[in-house]
């Protein structure tokens, strides 16, 4: 089943959220310390991913162009509006908690290499091990996020499943059209761009910055486009 890994990842987030709701009486000092630990770990993960780039110019251009596109269509605002809509639907008694939890958790769980690589493995090889590993990580993180940010975290399971599921379905056909070299280059630069965004998420969790990470997300698509253009140029003119 191509979508099994994505489904397990989504279910893990839901279960983690429900468990986090039961453990919402965790002492505030413990929550803060744990969240700071997660923030630091996310920053380190982002740095490691950022260093994987084979052409950092592509990373810079992807972030700049992606930021312009993201600000133009204001993805951050659309994420927040979606969260606020969910908040109204579920009748939350904590204004802003659903939106904040949905946006933060969606960015933490969606942005990054594991979801993309795992979904590719699911589609191309039928191997779900990477997404299973990610599901375990996301499940634990969702417990902590829910205890701090509320039930909005639960709804992040939807974009996670849609994102990973769509990639897995496309990956079943992708090897027919995309050479291995081009695919590897795309993954490398997407990983680096995503790593910088993950680092920004960690800094936001620590309260150091207020980066609109959602508005940087188009940079991942820009990275793919730039790699394809570079590959085509080298193929025909190199």
Q: Count up the domains in the chain and report the number.
A: 1
Q: Which ranges of the chain does DSSP label H, i.e. alpha helix?
A: 4-22, 28-50, 56-73, 75-90, 97-110, 113-124, 129-149, 157-174, 180-205, 218-237
Look at residue 94 in the predicted model and tell me its pLDDT: 52
Q: 92 lies in a domain?
A: yes
Residue 151: what pLDDT?
A: 83
Judge whether 237 lies within some domain. Answer: no
Which domain, by its residues, includes 27?
A: 4-232
Q: Rounded to two decimals, what is the model's pTM?
A: 0.75
Q: Round to whole Å and give the CA distance between 121 and 130.
A: 8
CA 224 remoteness from chain centre: 16
147 within some domain: yes
Digit-by-digit pLDDT tens for the chain (238 residues) are: 889 999 999 999 999 999 988 876 767 787 788 778 878 987 887 898 889 898 999 999 999 999 999 999 988 888 777 766 766 665 555 545 677 788 778 877 886 667 877 887 888 778 898 899 889 888 988 888 887 778 888 989 999 999 999 989 988 887 778 888 898 898 889 888 988 988 888 898 888 988 888 889 899 889 999 999 999 988 888 6
Q: What is the pLDDT of residue 104?
A: 78
| 126 vs 116: CA distance, rounded Å | 14
Q: What is the pLDDT of residue 17?
A: 92
The per-residue pLDDT for 86 is 63
* pLDDT number for residue 77: 84
For residue 238, is it within any domain?
no
């Amino acid at each position: 089943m191509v979508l099994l890994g994505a489904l397990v990842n989504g279910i893990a987030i839901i279960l983690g959220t429900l468990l986090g709701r039961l453990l919402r009486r965790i002492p505030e000092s413990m929550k803060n310390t744990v969240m700071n630990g997660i923030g630091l770990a996310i920053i380190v993960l982002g740095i490691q991913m950022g260093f994987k780039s084979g052409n950092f110019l592509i990373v810079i251009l992807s972030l700049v162009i992606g930021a312009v596109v993201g600000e133009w269509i204001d993805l951050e605002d659309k994420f927040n509006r979606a969260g606020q809509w969910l908040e109204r639907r579920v009748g939350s008694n904590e204004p802003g908690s659903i939106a904040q939890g949905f946006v933060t958790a969606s960015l933490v769980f969606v942005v990054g290499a594991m979801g993309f690589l795992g979904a590719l493995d699911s589609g191309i090889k039928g191997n779900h091990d990477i997404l299973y590993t990610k599901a375990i990580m996301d499940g634990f993180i969702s417990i902590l996020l829910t205890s701090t940010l509320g039930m909005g975290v639960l709804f992040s399971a939807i974009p996670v499943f849609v994102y990973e599921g769509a990639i897995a379905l496309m990956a079943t056909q992708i090897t027919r059209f995309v050479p291995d070299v081009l695919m590897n280059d795309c993954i490398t630069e997407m990983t680096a761009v995503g790593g910088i965004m993950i680092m920004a998420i960690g800094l936001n969790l620590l309260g150091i910055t207020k980066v609109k990470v959602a508005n940087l997300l188009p940079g991942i698509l820009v990275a793919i486009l730039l790699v394809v253009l570079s590959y085509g140029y080298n193929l025909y003119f190199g």
